[in-house]
Amino acid sequence: MRRAPCSLACENGQMPRRSRRDYAKYKEAARALAHARLAHFNQAYGFAIGRVAIRNQKTRWGSCSKRGNLNFSYRIALLPPVLADYVIVHELCHLGEFNHSPAFWALVARACPDHRALRRALRG
Ligand SMILES: [Zn+2]
């Protein structure tokens, strides 16, 4: 498996914590959220999305692979919707630009014009 060049890291480790029992509940909520918002934003982008997986990632909100598979932490279900959308748009845009170049950020800005502020907010 190839290493994803992107990891939306939570740098200060302040991701919300939940019990194991809650995990299943939030995982399903995160899956529904990711699929719904990917479908919504991809109407504009039109990328080929691979598999979408929800994981118990403690240090990353999301990541993507060269094969077009997207991974999200179940904790996106616990984010304010605008921040969850930013995580989803960020990973979706890696299907167009597999890097963090100006071209990548221009793609992100189409759906999230205030992505800089959103990224700061994610870091806490
Ligand atoms: Zn990225």
Degrees to nearest 5, angle at CA 122 with 116 and 123: 95
Looking at residue 50, what is its pLDDT? 94
Domain membership of residue 4 (yes or no) is no
Tens of pLDDT, residues 107-123: 999 999 999 999 999 88
Q: Which tokens in the block code for residue 63? A: 């990541």
The C-alpha atoms of residue 33 and residue 5 are separated, in whole angstroms, by 24
Residue 6 belongs to some domain of the structure: no
Cα 11 to Cα 120: distance, rounded to the nearest angstrom:
10
User: Is residue 24 in a domain?
Assistant: yes
* CATH code, domain with 34: 3.30.2010.10
User: SS3 of 64, please?
Assistant: strand
Overall number of domains in the chain = 1
What residues make up the domain containing 118?
Answer: 18-123
8 Cα: distance to centroid of ligand 1 (angstroms): 6
In a domain, 60, yes or no: yes
Within a domain: residue 10?
no
CB-proximal residues (5 Å) to ion ligand 1: 6
Is residue 106 in some structural domain? Answer: yes
Give residue 67's identity as a one-letter amino acid code. Answer: R
Q: Which residues of the chain have pLDDT under 70?
A: 1-18, 124
CA of 4 to the centre of ligand 1 (A): 9
- Whether residue 9 is contained in a domain is answered as no
Nearest to 59 by CA among 70, 75, 79: 75
84 CA from centroid of ligand 1 (Å): 14
